[in-house]
């Protein structure tokens, strides 16, 4: 029997990496929020790699933090090794990666959720979404979003009302966010053995998919996989290469000042021909090859059996042995994701140097699950056809804790802006990796689990991990998510950067003997014509502290501010060029497309373009230009037609 058990402003279905960010954001912005999860003990569970960050993912963590999200702070408090990757390359691809103590990460996030005002956390299984007809007068107005001017309107016929729990409770709310991850119709596959289940032996959510389909939502079937966990006591680390953390203290959050941490190492080893032979000899028993697996897997996170098939000439694949925490012997074999039968898994593990006697504590497995086609969403992550219903995370076809957290945060913010009747926060591709992520999903869709990579961001020199706060903290402040402490810190840093740049640009140097002697004394090559200290800092071999030794009037700076000043001076030309590219794209972005456009009325559009445009309903010519199958010529045709309509 169903009964109304509670009324909320926002309900978040799922307490994974997306759900916790969404719920914390909504509650911190003042809304009465319910966070539902299948297991209170698995809030912010890391069912796969025990790590946060890395290339592009580290950028997302910083952006979530800059907007007032939780992942960065939680990672700084619970991670057990930090490394800055790609330091040999330009700042655009520098990326922080940290090894997490999974249980500590989970329980710290659980504690934060349980102690957040306005937030209730419940272990409940939601089976149904409750919808109601939108009254006729509510079917029109819906603002388009930050920076989008008079955007078009979407005219859904339904709106959310609440959710039903398997035990009969009904919870009501005008805004609902689904962040159901890898649980919808979850199916576990280990060789020939398959069963319905969620990650780490949890229950799946078998009914909610039907409720979504009944609401007219298109679903996809995806798959992902994870490697075995082995017992550290049975490993021979002498046969592997040590991978220690950085000595220099690192943090994800712009609010963290942690300078010392107990760090644990990872270890590097490799597969070999013996490993590959076992896999080749048993490929007919591989579920991803013999049809047992139907879901589509991640191209950029392939299983070991897929690697053997995809790279037959490669004589070895690197594996990282990553500790899962300080208080466990479980070790994650990164690079060895598999759903091979157990006898095969044990056999190929024992061919690897250092794992000859490894005991498997948890089997590698694949999981298939339902997710939605994200082209059904607006850039605000609200469904185009159901008012007040948002979606975030793996449920949108992505893969990764960081991708999930980024979407969860935006969905949480926009659910509240929706309730406030405000325009949603829509980050552009030139604002943030989060903007690239969401724009790719809602404009291009995805046919496999989408993973963020730096190569996806055309403006990556602007979207560095070091300046995420300068790009996004003001937006977080505008929606009341950035606290006073974070705002003050941001303003101080911003002022320090501006003052330092002004001081550098104001410090004029002349090629006098005394001046050049002072420069040479600190290892800076002499100057031959008058210049500013700012110009000198453009030299890649010149560093701010060095310059300040020669020019003591320059202000003392924190490491963070120094990094900003050095990058802004050294990459000024490239940054300027990229800003010009952004300005050119902005012109297309600002050209709005009316919602009620009928593409059949636009003469000389190619059929494929007409079809794609009608399906995606892009908000601007900029978004239209990114739809696969819509050519630049189609965009020009559309631009001319829109201009003619406007003049009429």
Ligand X SMILES: Cc1cc2nc3c(=O)[nH]c(=O)nc-3n(C[C@H](O)[C@H](O)[C@H](O)COP(=O)(O)OP(=O)(O)OC[C@H]3O[C@@H](n4cnc5c(N)ncnc54)[C@H](O)[C@@H]3O)c2cc1C
Instruction: Determine phi and psi for 364, rounding to 5 degrees.
Output: -70, 150
User: Among residue numbers 351 through 390, which ones bind ligand X (CB under 6 A)?
Assistant: 367
> Rounded to an integer, what distance in angstroms lies between the CA atom of residue 437 and that of residue 457?
9
User: Which residues touch 154 (CB under 8 Å, ≥6 apart)?
Assistant: 142, 378, 384, 385, 595, 617
Return the number of the residue (254 or 401) whose C-beta is nearest ligand X: 401
Assign residue 224 a region: left if phi > 0, alpha if psi is -120 to 50, beta otherwise? beta
The answer to whether 96 and 81 are in contact (CB under 8 A) is no
Return the number of the residue (49 or 81) whose C-beta is nearest ligand X: 49
How many residues at the interface with ligand X, by CB under 6 A? 39
Regarding 72 and contact with ligand X (CB under 6 A), the answer is no
User: Among residue numbers 121 through 150, which ones bind ligand X (CB under 6 A)?
Assistant: 125-126
> Rounded to an integer, what distance in angstroms lies between the CA atom of residue 468 and that of residue 567?
14
Cα-only R_g, the chain: 26
Return the number of the residue (349 or 630) whose C-beta is nearest ligand X: 349
8, 9, 10, 17: which one binds ligand X (CB under 6 A): 17
Element (H, E) at 290: helix 287-290
8, 105, 183, 389: which one binds ligand X (CB under 6 A): 183
Element (H, E) at 536: helix 533-537
Regarding 51 and contact with ligand X (CB under 6 A), the answer is no
The pair of three-digit structure tokens given for residue 327, joined into one six-digit string: 């208080």
Helix axes 17-28, 401-420, angle to 10 degrees: 30
| Segment lying near ligand X (by CB under 6 A), choices 39-47, 440-448, 463-471, 509-517 | 39-47
Question: Would you call 191 helix, strand, or coil by DSSP?
Answer: coil
Regarding 205 and contact with ligand X (CB under 6 A), the answer is yes
Cα separations (Å) of 566 from 372, 500, 551?
43, 10, 16
54, 69, 72, 199: which one binds ligand X (CB under 6 A): 199
In angstroms, give the least distance from the CB of 84 to ligand X: 20
> Rounded to an integer, what distance in angstroms lies between the CA atom of residue 70 and that of residue 75?
9
Return the number of the residue (74 or 224) whose C-beta is nearest ligand X: 224
Residues 190/195/196/201 CA torsion (nearest 10 deg): -60
583 CB neighbour count, 10 Å cutoff: 10
Query: Side by side, which strands form the sheet with 175-178?
Result: 119-123, 33-37, 10-13, 175-178, 389-391
In angstroms, give the least distance from the CB of 407 to ligand X: 8
Regarding 47 and contact with ligand X (CB under 6 A), the answer is yes
Return the number of the residue (39 or 532) whose C-beta is nearest ligand X: 39
Assign residue 149 a region: left if phi > 0, alpha if psi is -120 to 50, beta otherwise? left
Return the number of the residue (366 or 635) whose C-beta is nearest ligand X: 366
User: Which residues touch 457 (CB under 8 Å, ≥6 apart)?
Assistant: 56, 429, 433, 436, 463
The pair of three-digit structure tokens given for residue 467, joined into one six-digit string: 């300046």
In angstroms, give the least distance from the CB of 334 to ligand X: 9
54, 152, 225, 379: which one binds ligand X (CB under 6 A): 225
| Segment lying near ligand X (by CB under 6 A), choices 395-403, 412-420, 506-514, 563-571 | 395-403
In angstroms, give the least distance from the CB of 189 to ligand X: 10
> Rounded to an integer, what distance in angstroms lies between the CA atom of residue 563 and that of residue 501?
12
23, 26, 33, 37: which one binds ligand X (CB under 6 A): 37
179, 372, 406, 462: which one binds ligand X (CB under 6 A): 179
Return the number of the residue (394 or 414) whose C-beta is nearest ligand X: 394
Regarding 19 and contact with ligand X (CB under 6 A), the answer is yes
Helix axes 71-78, 401-420, angle to 10 degrees: 140
| Segment lying near ligand X (by CB under 6 A), choices 147-155, 223-231, 491-499, 520-528 | 223-231
Regarding 98 and contact with ligand X (CB under 6 A), the answer is no
In angstroms, give the least distance from the CB of 163 to ligand X: 8
8, 82, 105, 208: which one binds ligand X (CB under 6 A): 208
Regarding 182 and contact with ligand X (CB under 6 A), the answer is yes
The answer to whether 322 and 328 are in contact (CB under 8 A) is no
Regarding 58 and contact with ligand X (CB under 6 A), the answer is no
Return the number of the residue (36 or 409) whose C-beta is nearest ligand X: 36
| Segment lying near ligand X (by CB under 6 A), choices 220-228, 410-418, 576-584, 637-645 | 220-228
In angstroms, give the least distance from the CB of 209 to ligand X: 9
> Rounded to an integer, what distance in angstroms lies between the CA atom of residue 122 and that of residue 407?
22
105, 252, 390, 401: which one binds ligand X (CB under 6 A): 401
Q: Are strands 389-391 and 175-178 parallel, antiparallel or unpaired?
A: parallel
108, 224, 338, 563: which one binds ligand X (CB under 6 A): 224
Return the number of the residue (394 or 625) whose C-beta is nearest ligand X: 394
Regarding 399 and contact with ligand X (CB under 6 A), the answer is yes
In angstroms, give the least distance from the CB of 421 to ligand X: 28
Applying CB under 6 A, the residues found at the interface with ligand X are 13-19, 36-39, 45, 47-49, 125-126, 179-183, 199, 205, 208, 224-226, 301, 337, 367, 393-395, 399-401, 404, 451
């Amino acid at each position: 029997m169903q009964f109304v058990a509670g009324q909320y402003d926002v309900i978040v279905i799922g307490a994974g990496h997306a759900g916790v960010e969404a719920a914390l954001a909504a509650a911190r912005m003042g809304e009465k929020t319910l966070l539902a999860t299948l297991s209170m003990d698995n809030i912010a569970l890391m069912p796969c790699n025990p790590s946060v960050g890395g290339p592009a993912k580290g950028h997302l963590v910083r952006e979530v933090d800059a907007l007032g999200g939780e992942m960065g702070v939680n990672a700084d408090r619970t991670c057990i090794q930090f490394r800055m990757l790609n330091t040999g390359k330009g700042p655009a691809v520098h990326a922080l990666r940290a090894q997490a103590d999974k249980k500590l990460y989970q329980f710290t996030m659980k504690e934060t959720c349980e102690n957040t005002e306005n937030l209730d956390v419940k272990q409940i299984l939601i089976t149904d979404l409750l919808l109601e007809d939108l009254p006729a007068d509510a079917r029109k107005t819906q603002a388009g979003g930050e920076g989008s001017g008079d955007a078009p309107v979407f005219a859904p016929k339904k709106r959310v009302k609440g959710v039903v729990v398997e035990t009969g409770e009904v919870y009501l709310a005008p805004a609902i966010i689904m962040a159901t991850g890898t649980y919808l119709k979850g199916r576990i596959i280990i060789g020939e053995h398959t069963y319905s289940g969620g990650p780490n032996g949890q229950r799946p959510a078998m009914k909610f998919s039907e409720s979504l389909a009944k609401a007219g939502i298109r679903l996809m079937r995806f798959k992902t996989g994870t490697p075995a966990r082995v017992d550290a006591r049975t490993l021979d680390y002498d046969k592997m290469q040590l991978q220690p953390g950085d000595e220099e203290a690192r943090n994800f959050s712009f609010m963290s000042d942690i300078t010392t941490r107990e760090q644990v190492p990872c270890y590097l080893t490799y597969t070999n021909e013996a490993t590959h032979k076992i896999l080749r000899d048993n490929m007919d028993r591989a579920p991803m090859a013999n049809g047992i697996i139907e879901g589509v897997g991640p191209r950029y996170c392939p299983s070991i059996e897929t690697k053997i098939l995809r790279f037959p000439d490669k004589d070895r694949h690197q594996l990282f042995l990553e500790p899962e925490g300080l208080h466990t012997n479980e070790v994650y074999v990164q690079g060895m994701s598999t759903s091979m039968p157990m006898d095969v898994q044990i056999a190929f593990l024992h061919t690897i140097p250092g794992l000859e006697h490894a005991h498997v504590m948890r089997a590698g497995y694949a999981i298939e699950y339902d997710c939605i086609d994200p082209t059904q969403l607006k850039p605000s992550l609200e469904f185009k056809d159901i008012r007040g219903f948002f979606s975030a995370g793996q449920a949108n076809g992505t893969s990764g804790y960081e991708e999930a957290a980024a979407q969860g945060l935006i969905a949480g913010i926009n659910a509240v802006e929706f309730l406030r009747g405000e325009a949603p926060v829509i980050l552009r591709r030139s604002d943030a990796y989060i903007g690239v992520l969401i724009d790719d999903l809602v404009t291009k869709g995805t046919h496999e689990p989408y993973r963020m990579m730096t190569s996806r961001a055309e403006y990556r020199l602007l979207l560095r991990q070091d300046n995420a706060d300068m790009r996004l903290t003001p937006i977080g402040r505008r929606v009341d998510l950035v606290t006073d402490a974070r705002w003050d810190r941001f303003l101080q840093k911003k002022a320090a950067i501006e003052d330092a740049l002004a001081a550098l640009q104001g410090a004029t140097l002349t090629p006098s003997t005394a001046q050049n002697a002072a420069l040479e004394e600190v290892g800076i090559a002499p100057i031959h014509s008058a210049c500013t200290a700012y110009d000198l800092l453009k030299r890649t071999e010149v560093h701010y502290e060095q310059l300040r030794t020669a020019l003591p009037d320059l202000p003392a700076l924190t490491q963070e501010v120094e990094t900003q000043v050095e990058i802004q001076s050294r990459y000024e030309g490239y940054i300027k060029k990229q800003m010009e590219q952004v300005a050119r794209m902005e012109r297309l972005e600002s050209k709005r497309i009316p919602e009620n456009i009928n593409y059949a009325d636009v003469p000389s559009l190619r059929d494929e373009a007409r079809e794609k445009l009608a399906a995606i309903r892009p908000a601007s010519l900029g978004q239209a230009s990114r739809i696969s199958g819509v050519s630049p010529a189609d965009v020009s045709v559309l631009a001319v037609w829109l201009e003619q309509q406007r003049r009429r």
